[in-house]
Amino acid sequence: MPSFSVINGVRAAWSLTGPEGAPVVLLANGLAADSTMWDPQMEAFASTYRLLRYDMRGHGESEGTPGDYSLSLLADDVVALLDALSLERVHLVGCSLGAMVGQFMGVHHSSRLKSLTLCATSSEAPKSTWESRVAAVRKHGVPPQIEATIDRWFTPAFRDAHPETMNRMREMVLRTTQDGYAGCAAAIRDMTLSSIIAAIELPTLVVAGEHDLSTPLPTLERIADTIPGAVLVTVADAAHMPTIEQPEECNRVIMDFLQSVDDGTVRDHTQRIRA
């Protein structure tokens, strides 16, 4: 069961599990997802790391607020959560929007982070496309977004083979509030990360899904090329949710990276790896 705290003015849901004294890994969800998207990572990480999961503003069981959000606001939510839990520095693992917040934090709040893992994300977005999404959700709500979201998140083969998982994903999308979806979509619309992420000096892992149409491989390659020393891993047979579609491969790659940061052997040059 999650805990609840008033964080940066909103009632936020979070959970902190794992061995006391272990390094903390903060897991940041994507748009229309929530902390349950990280269920496939919990067992693999639980014996080594202390895992902090939270529902982004307006997602899952966290309160939403009206109006446009910004990456600055969403990053402030993370900082406020870390402050409330007296956590000085954490590894941040984010997917999609969660990794956009991670990039922003890597520039503006780097002192709170040990490393960045950026999965299936972008540093810029087509404004007209996202403005249309914001307007559609504010007019019609979240339910009309469900099937298109599921189609973007997973390959057709995975969708066909895992109908129960797809139903859980639909339920997760429906837990997103109208304000939360539209507000976060506005934050994506307005992001200007591509011009600043070269300033990130943290160990960074970039994870791309081979068949991701939302944030395709060239997008992740540009991010990895821009962040000094970043390592790029391409996960085969995965779309926009590689941590769900190919959890064993993602868990192995991310764990290896986190442990290399913690033991001081992290790679110090850009590499291209196919998982």
Indicate whether 272 pLDDT > 80.
no
**Average pLDDT for residues 1-27, to the nearest whole number?**
96
What angle is formed at CA 159 by the lines to CA 153 and CA 165, rounded to 5 degrees? 85
**Average pLDDT for residues 79-101, to the nearest whole number?**
98
Indicate whether 124 pLDDT > 80.
yes
What distance in Å separates the CA atoms of residue 150 and residue 130, rounded to the nearest whole number? Answer: 17
Indicate whether 271 pLDDT > 90.
no
What distance in Å separates the CA atoms of residue 43 and residue 51, rounded to the nearest whole number? Answer: 10
Please enumerate in sequence order all residues whose Cβ is within 8 A of that of 174, keeping only pairs 6 or more positions apart, or say none: 142, 143, 146
Q: What's the chain's average pLDDT?
A: 96
Do 187 and 70 touch, CB atoms closer than 8 A?
yes
Query: What pLDDT does 265 receive?
Result: 84
**Average pLDDT for residues 14-25, to the nearest whole number?**
97
Query: What pLDDT does 142 receive?
Result: 98
Query: What pLDDT does 1 receive?
Result: 83
Query: What pLDDT does 270 receive?
Result: 45
Q: Which amino acid is at 209?
A: G
The CATH label, of 3.30.420.40, 3.40.50.1820, 3.40.50.2000, 3.60.20.10, for the domain at 3-274 is 3.40.50.1820
206-247 pLDDT, tens digit each:
999 999 999 999 999 999 999 999 999 999 999 999 999 999
Residue in this structure with the two tokens 């496939």, named with its chain if needed: 40
Indicate whether 257 pLDDT > 50.
yes
